[in-house]
């Protein structure tokens, strides 16, 4: 009993935030819009976090007929990117009194089994990140609101779609490498049937196709370092002029490309420029550090949860793709001079 007496109450939150108890109830009852300003609502949530306040969700859920639980489905738990998506979504969920359950569906393509006796009875909605549409049939049924992340906005099955501006990211990669003087490209593409990877391939080919004299070849590999080593080594050893720039769909593929290049006696970036996508911690651990497209995974997750809340409340979902950023590091440089069969670089006087 003594422990209960020290638990913060809504009155404590109201006092700390400088608002009335009614305002606190409105914020945690998701009824504040139009009655409490956004800054005031955030002040209430901040005070609650500071005090460790938790509303009585069980009683409120019974009144609302909701479970206050959302499922976040991702292809894998071993990828840093999806950890960021979860962190962002969970933060917004907690601010609105929702719980977020993380559920992996391997590869994101085969049907994901329903982790509950009935998802429709246990959940208020589903957020699916980088998943094939047919992987979600068993989870969604016909009644659960669904928000798709990294999905075709025109044909996706969700009530709303949230995307990163991955097309712009690939255009930035292409322009960076073209600006350095590269004209022979290898695209190490993720061997995953996903909309986001289709966009990357399409945008890269379209941008390079605008420049006369460019060559683009494609090699495919599952998203693993060892698979990338095998695919990149085979492609770089093929007859004909070797590519001078290798564009990878993912930082893990880029790590495999580094290993393949070194096994072939090639130097990054002297003989081969390499780029990735994601800006994982791995990108800065590689030597040289990897030029890559930074994707804001936490913001991605936040936008996904906000979109689901809007769907649940009948509000308009925020439109517009999330911007990305090209982070230029040491793995890209102008094409180096050709190398003779002994592996020594033939030097060219830059003043000529």
CATH number of 65-162+297-321: 3.40.50.2300
CA distance 112 to 103: 9
352 residues of the chain, pLDDT tens digit each: 344 447 788 888 899 999 988 888 788 776 677 788 888 988 988 998 888 887 654 444 444 446 788 989 888 777 889 999 999 999 999 988 898 988 887 554 455 555 554 445 578 888 988 776 666 665 554 567 889 899 888 876 778 899 999 999 999 999 999 999 999 999 999 998 888 999 999 999 999 999 999 999 999 999 999 999 999 999 999 999 999 999 999 999 999 999 999 999 999 999 999 999 999 999 999 999 999 999 999 999 999 999 999 988 888 888 899 999 999 999 999 998 766 433 433 322 222 2
pLDDT tens digits, 282-292:
999 999 999 99
The residue ranges of every structural domain in the chain are 9-55, 65-162+297-321, 166-294
Topology alike, domains 65-162+297-321 and 166-294: yes
166-294: CATH topology: Rossmann fold (3.40.50)
> How many residues can be counted in the chain?
352
Measured CA distances, 116 to 12, 71, 138, 240, 243 (Å): 37, 11, 11, 55, 50
What is residue 56's predicted lDDT score, i.e. its pLDDT? 56
Fold of 9-55: 434 Repressor (Amino-terminal Domain) (1.10.260)
Computed on alpha carbons and rounded to an integer, the radius of gyration of the chain in Å comes to: 25
Q: Are strands 291-294 and 325-327 parallel, antiparallel or unpaired?
A: antiparallel
pLDDT of residue 341: 39
Which pTM value belongs to this model? 0.74
What does DSSP say about strands 291-294 and 273-278: parallel, antiparallel, or unpaired?
parallel
Sign of the CA dihedral running 227, 230, 231, 232: positive
Residue from 307, 169, 314 nearest 248 by CA: 169
How many other C-beta atoms are found inside a 10 Å radius of the C-beta of residue 284? 14
**Residue 65 phi/psi, 5° resolution?**
70, 30
Q: What CA–CA distance (Å, rounded) separates 17 from 20?
A: 9
């Amino acid at each position: 009993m003594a422990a209960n007496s020290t638990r913060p109450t809504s009155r404590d939150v109201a006092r700390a935030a400088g608002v009335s108890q009614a305002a606190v109830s409105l914020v945690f009852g998701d009824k504040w819009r139009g009655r409490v300003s956004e800054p005031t609502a955030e002040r209430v949530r901040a005070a609650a976090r500071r005090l460790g306040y938790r509303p009585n969700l069980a009683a409120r859920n019974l009144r609302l007929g909701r479970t206050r639980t959302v499922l976040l489905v991702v292809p894998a738990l071993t990828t840093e990117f999806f950890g960021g998506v979860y962190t962002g979504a969970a933060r917004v969920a907690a601010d609105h009194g929702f719980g977020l359950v993380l559920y992996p569906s391997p590869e994101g393509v085969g049907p994901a089994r329903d982790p509950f006796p009935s998802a429709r009875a246990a959940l208020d909605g589903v957020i699916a990140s980088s998943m094939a549409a047919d992987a979600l049939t068993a989870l969604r049924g016909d009644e659960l609101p669904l928000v798709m992340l990294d999905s075709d906005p025109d044909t996706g099955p969700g009530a709303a779609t949230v995307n990163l501006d991955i097309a712009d990211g690939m255009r930035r990669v292409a322009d960076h490498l073209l600006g350095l003087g590269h004209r022979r490209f290898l695209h190490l593409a993720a061997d995953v049937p996903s909309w986001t990877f289709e966009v990357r391939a399409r945008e890269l080919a379209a941008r390079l196709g605008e420049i006369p004299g460019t060559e683009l070849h494609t090699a495919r590999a599952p998203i693993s370092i060892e698979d990338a080593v095998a695919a990149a080594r085979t492609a770089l050893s093929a007859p004909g002029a070797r590519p001078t720039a290798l564009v990878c769909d993912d930082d893990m593929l880029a790590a495999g490309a580094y290993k393949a290049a070194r096994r072939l006696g090639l130097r990054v970036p002297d003989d081969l420029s390499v780029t990735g996508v994601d800006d994982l911690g791995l990108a800065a651990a590689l030597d040289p550090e990897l030029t890559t497209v930074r994707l804001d995974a936490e913001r991605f997750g936040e936008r996904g949860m906000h979109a689901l809340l809007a769907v649940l409340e009948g509000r308009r979902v925020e439109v517009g793709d999330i911007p990305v950023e090209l982070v230029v590091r040491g793995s890209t440089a102008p094409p180096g001079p050709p190398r003779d069969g002994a592996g020594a670089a033939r030097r060219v006087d830059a003043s000529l």
